[in-house]
Amino acid sequence: MSTTYFGPVQWYQKLHRAELVTIEQWESFQKQTYRNRCLIATTQGVQALTVPVEKPVGNGTAYIKDLRISDHGNWRHLHWNALQSAYGESPFFEYYQDDIRPFFEERWTYLVDFNEAIRQKMCELIDILPDVTYSNTYIADAQTAGIADFRAAIHPKHPAQDDDFKPKPYYQVYQTKHGFLKNLSILDLLFNVGPESVFYL
C-alpha cells in the first residue's frame, strides 16, 4: 500500500485484515492522492486537507521516501482548525483531541516519517496491531509476485474495484444534511464511533 496522511477507512481496513502489509517508499510521488491528503466531512460537504510538499531538487523524480514537507501556507494551523470545526460536535472529538493535536504542532521533515507516526498513533487509538514493513525496493508488478497491490487502487478520485470493501453507514455529524459520506479519513470514523471503530474495520 502507499503511505497515507490520516488515510481513508478502506486503507485502515486493509491494514487491520492483512497478515502482512508492506508500505511502498520507493515509488515516485503522485499528486492528488491519499499520500499527502485526507478527506473529512464538514458542514459544506467533503473537504480535502492537503499537506504541502517541497518540489524535488533538479529535474529528477522524487521517491516518496525522500519527499520533504513544506511549511508553506501555515497548513498545520489550518488543518487543525478545520478538524475542530468539522468534528468539535462529534461524540469522541474531545476524547481524542489531545492525541491528534501534536501532529499539527510538531515538525517532521519527511512525509513518510510523518505519515508513519500518524499510522502508529491511529493503530494505538483504534487498538489494532498490524504487521507492517516498508519496501526496500520498488516492486513493479506486485500481483505477479503474489501480492495484493493497493498502491493505486485506494485513490480519492479514481478508486479501483474492491469487493472486500463495502462501506456500511455509521453515525456522522452532518449525515442529516449530506447523507452518509463513505470512505473518509480514519479520523471521521474515530471521532464519530470512538472505541467501536475496530469493530467497523
Phi, psi torsion values for 170, nearest 5 degrees: -130, 170
Mean predicted lDDT score pLDDT of the chain: 94
Cell of 141: 508488478
Q: Judge whether residue 59 has pLDDT over 70.
A: no
Rounded Cα distance, 125 and 10, in Å:
17
Q: Judge whether residue 21 has pLDDT over 80.
A: yes
The per-residue pLDDT for range 40-58, each reduced to its tens digit, is 999 999 999 999 999 777 6
Q: What is the mean pLDDT of residues 120-136?
A: 97
**pLDDT the model gives residue 60:** 66
The per-residue pLDDT for range 131-148, each reduced to its tens digit, is 999 999 988 887 777 889
Cβ–Cβ < 8 Å for 180, 158: no
Whether the full predicted model's pTM is greater than 0.85, yes or no, is yes
Res. 73 pLDDT band, cuts 50 70 90: confident
119-126 own/partner pairs: CB under 8 Å, 24+ apart: 119/4, 119/7, 119/15, 122/6, 122/12, 122/186, 122/190, 123/15, 125/96, 125/99, 125/190, 126/12, 126/16, 126/186, 126/190, 126/197, 126/198, 126/201
Q: Which ranges of the chain does DSSP label H, i.e. alpha helix?
A: 9-17, 75-87, 93-100, 111-126, 175-178, 186-193, 197-200
Q: What is the mean pLDDT of residues 11-30?
A: 94
Q: Which residues pair with 24 in a beta bridge?
A: 2
**pLDDT the model gives residue 58:** 64
